């Protein structure tokens, strides 16, 4: 697999569009950090790391609106790819939907959101946009 983060985002996007309650994804440190941020920002209900013999997986419980049954994740898009890495400095930090969405950025301080990167005054690689 050439881009495991794009695979992660696609699995979450497809599960949300199909209306699944839970999605299972092969685990890695980066995917676990992406999941942690999605949980902190309220895009998913919960997640759990399931240790397995050959490999571990992350079980993610997706969040839906109780009345309309629409997913909390409207759109999740990969920005930086293995073929074209996208880096940004703190002065040109993107605003997703004028601040309503989040940009997840890999920095020297770890994987954080765009707002946290501005507060810490660090730039990095833009992984994805979520709204």
pLDDT 10s digit of each residue in the chain, 131 long?
Answer: 799 999 999 999 999 999 999 999 999 999 999 999 999 999 999 999 999 888 999 999 999 999 988 999 999 999 999 999 999 999 999 999 998 999 999 999 999 999 999 999 999 999 999 99
What is the CATH number assigned to the segment(s) 4-62?
A: 3.30.1370.30
Match 């994805």 to its residue by tokens: 128
CA distance 54 to 64: 32
**CB atoms inside a 10 Å sphere around CB 18:** 10
For domain 76-130, give the fold. Dna Ligase; domain 1 (3.30.1490)
CA distance 94 to 56: 33
CA distance 77 to 128: 5
Residues of the chain with CATH 3.30.1370.30: 4-62
Residues of the chain with CATH 3.30.1490.10: 76-130
Provide the whole-model pTM.
Answer: 0.93
């Amino acid at each position: 697999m050439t881009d495991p983060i794009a695979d992660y985002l696609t699995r979450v996007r497809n599960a949300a569009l199909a209306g699944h309650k839970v999605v299972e994804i092969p685990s890695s440190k980066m995917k676990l950090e992406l999941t942690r941020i999605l949980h902190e920002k309220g895009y998913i209900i919960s997640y759990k790391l399931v240790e397995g013999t050959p490999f571990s997986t992350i079980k993610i419980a997706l969040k839906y609106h109780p009345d309309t049954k629409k997913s909390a994740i409207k759109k999740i898009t990969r920005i930086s790819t293995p073929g074209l890495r996208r880096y940004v400095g703190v002065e040109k930090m993107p605003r997703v939907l004028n601040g309503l969405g989040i940009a997840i950025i890999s920095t020297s301080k770890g994987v954080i959101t765009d707002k946290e990167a501005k507060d810490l005054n660090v730039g990095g690689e833009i992984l994805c946009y979520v709204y």
